[in-house]
Amino acid sequence: MTQKNQTLGEFIIDNQSSFQYSSGELSKLINAIRLAAKVVNHQVNKAGLVDILGAAGDTNVQGEDQQKLDVFANDKFIQTLRNREIVCGIASEEEDSFITINSNDKKHQNKYVVLIDPLDGSSNVDVNVSVGTIFSIYRRITPVGTPVTLEDFLQPGNKQVAAGYVVYGTSTMLVYTTGDGVNGFTLNPALGTFYLSHPNMQFPETGKIYSVNEGNYVHFHQGVKDYIKYCQQEEGDRPYTSRYIGSLVSDFHRNMIKGGIYMYPKSSVTESGKLRLLYECNPMAFLAEQANGLARGGRNRIMDIQPTELHQRVPFFCGSRKMVEKLQEFLDKYH
C-alpha cells in the first residue's frame, strides 16, 4: 500500500508484487541508482566550493563540451551499477558505445540493461540552476549467459520496464515508474533518506505553460510556429505563460506538477531534433504516459519508434494531454 512518508526502500518492498518481474533484481537496481544519485547530489550541492565547475576540456560522442560534473556523474553511476553486479550492460549519453558488464560470479547472468543521461542540463550548474539525471531500464533480449549486444539497447520505449529521473534542485527528488503509476521521493539531507512525498503523480489534463527555446523560432517548421502563436493569443484561458529552463528534467518536472507542454522540435538547423531518443525521450515518454500525459515525436508516439543507433536524436513534444493533442492538430495541417 502506498503511504506518504514511506522511505524509498520501504516503498520498493511493498510494491514489488505489482511489477511483473518481481525477482528482486529490479529493486536492487533502483537502490543502486538511489545510492549514486545521493553521491552526485552531494557533489552538485558543493559545486561552488570545489574545483568541479566548468568544462572538463573534452567533448562527448555528440561533439558537445563535457562539463566536469558530467564526467563525475557518468563515472559515479557506471561505477555504482558495476559494483552492485546487477546489470549486464550500460549505455550512457557520455560514452561512445555501450559497456558490457560481466559479473565475476554470474558470467553474464544478469537480466537488465540501463541507459542513462548522467547529468542533464549540466551547462546550468555554473549558474546554480537545477539539473538532473535520467535513467531507463530494459530486460535484455539476447540469451542470458552471453555478453550483451547492441540489440539489447536498441529496443523501442514500449519495452521499458522502469524509467525515472532525479532532479537536483531546491530539494532533491527521485521520480520513477515501473509501469504502475509515477511516484516522487524527496531526499531528507539530514538523514540521507528518500521519502515518498508525491504519490501517484499526474499531469493535469491541460495547463497554462509552454516550454520551448523560442530563440530558435525562426528555424521551426510552420506547424510549431502556428502552435506557439496560438499559445500567445489572448483568448479564453490564453495567453499561456512561457517557461523554459533548458534542463529537460526541470522543465518536465514543473509541467507535470503545474500542467504544461514541453517542445523540442526539429528545425532547419537540427532536422532530426536535438534530444536523444534512448537517454531522454523514451524515459520521459514512459513517465508522461504513466502520469496521464502524452509524448509524441511529431506524428508518432515516441515509445513506438524503433531505434537504429545509440545516440539517435528525435523531435520531442510531451506534457498535458489536451495541450499535446492541440499541438498535434497544428502539426497535422502540414502533413
Which residues participate in the annotated binding site for Mg(2+)?
93, 117, 119-120, 280
Sign of CA dihedral 323, 157, 111, 23: positive
Q: What single letter denotes the amino acid at residue 325?
A: E
The H or E element containing residue 286 is: helix 282-290
Query: Rounded distance, CA 195 to CA 186, Å?
Result: 5
**Binding site per annotation, positions for substrate:** 120-123, 213, 244, 274
Q: What single letter denotes the amino acid at residue 269?
A: V
Grid coordinates given for 220: 521551426
Residue 89 backbone dihedrals phi, psi, to 5 degrees: -170, 150
Query: Rounded distance, CA 314 to CA 276, Å?
Result: 6
Residue 244: CB atoms within 10 Å: 17
**Binding site per annotation, positions:** 93, 117, 119-123, 213, 244, 274, 280
Termini Cα distance of the chain: 47
